[in-house]
Amino acid sequence: MLASGAARGADTEVALVGEAQLGWTDNAQSSPDEPVPGVPEKKADAFAVLSPGLGLTRGTRGALQRLGVTTSVTLHWHERDADTWSNRAEYQGLFDLDPRTSLLVGTSASTTRAWTATIVTPAGAGELSGTLQGTGTTLTLGADETLSHDLTRSLRGWQGARFAYGRSLDDSAQPRSTDTQASLGLERSFRLDAVGLELRGEYGTVSSSAARPSVRQLTSTAVAIHRHDFGRYFTSRLEAGAMRVDRPSSGRHFWHPSALAALAYTDDWGGAALSYSHRATTSVTLGQTLLVDEVLLSGAVPLLGERTLVVAGSAGYQRGRVIEEDASRGARLEVTLADLGLAWQLAPSAALGLRYQHTRQLSDGTAPPDPLSFRRNSVLAGVSLRFPPETELRRPLRQPLRVDRADDVRGRRSGDHERRVD
């Protein structure tokens, strides 16, 4: 069990978090179903995870900033080669530049190995991504920003940007990947509905390796957007449009539809979202560009009042095709994830947790550096301590999802019940 403590000022919140878990997995290093030379064989093992963390929130007039740092140590009972040390640091800032303009920025950095990436990520994080087999540590960096401006009471414009970078820290022969995105949108809102248009551009690069040539890809997308609020807690988002994928080095391109459908639930205690998307993207963890279809359900919702029992999880399926240099569709990649966690609040600062995770990957790859097919099941149980309690901390930062902005949580704490409509 890890100790926890806090210091708190008038505008500053400092929280210490400690988590200790015991677990068992049937595939300690996410090894392929069939043995592959150079890749560890599939073996079951028991393990322990220790995760101390520090969070700092700073609130001033017109600004709210959060900084978090987490270190996770994973120790295995038999497979000592599977022991890992993972680190993650992230920053978020929400700034009211004037009464009509807000800016949301974020950065993150993490180092981890492939088989522990999902274990040390919260159950409701809601990410689907392919996995590369191997013993190396991967560095991923990310940064994003969204600038939103109310032109009138019912007309809003926004601009967004995102950058991601990934590379292996142990194998210089592995490719390095970057993904840069930019967007520009305009939306007209009504009482329960909003309609808009967004233009997007994405430029991805994958450096050459011993097995693959360098890749550059430009994706241009235009979509129409419709949002609608259902009652007090539900909101939907629909996107439909077209994207053009260009390969500058070969001069080849193709057109494809772009689509998204999402239904989200938000309240003062939790939230969840179910979505389907069809898009082209560059995966910095795989070092490949893909055309993907994805269905994802994720979130955290209390089952009992006052958050005594909370269920958090992610469940999804992603089917992708690698985009070859001549813009044709190549090898397939399918990822299935089921990640369910229960947290029982024993006291304001202490909770017991139980978690089950299933990961399955199907790939046409037969040897590294291509992703390989594997299955992994893991069960974890543990205790977490947080001081001060989560109900006294400010909510995570994000832009409102609802048309009426009733889910705008800036400056509010997790225990606040009142709702605000701008």
**Once rounded to an integer, what is the mean pLDDT over residues 98-119?**
89
Which range of 106-120, 217-231, 302-316 scores highest in mean pLDDT? It is: 217-231
Q: Which residue in 207, 84, 69 sits closest to 137, CA to CA? A: 84
Q: What is the largest CA-CA distance in the chain?
A: 63
Structure tokens at 318: 């992603």
| Percent of the chain predicted with pLDDT > 70 | 89
Higher pLDDT, residue 224 or 211: 224
Count of other CB atoms within 10 angstroms of residue 129: 15
**Once rounded to an integer, what is the mean pLDDT over residues 319-342?**
88
Question: What's the pTM value of the predicted model, to 2 decimals?
Answer: 0.85
**Once rounded to an integer, what is the mean pLDDT over residues 178-205?**
95
Mean pLDDT estimate for the chain: 85
Alpha carbon dihedral 187, 189, 194, 196, in 10-degree steps, equals -20
- Distance between first and last Cα of the chain: 44
Point out the least confidently predicted range of 70-79, 145-154, 326-335. 326-335
CB of 57 within 8 A of CB of 413? Answer: no
Over 60: is that where the pLDDT of 420 sits?
A: no
Summarised one tens digit per residue, pLDDT across range 123-156 is 877 677 887 776 578 899 999 999 999 999 999 9
Return the pLDDT at 375: 94
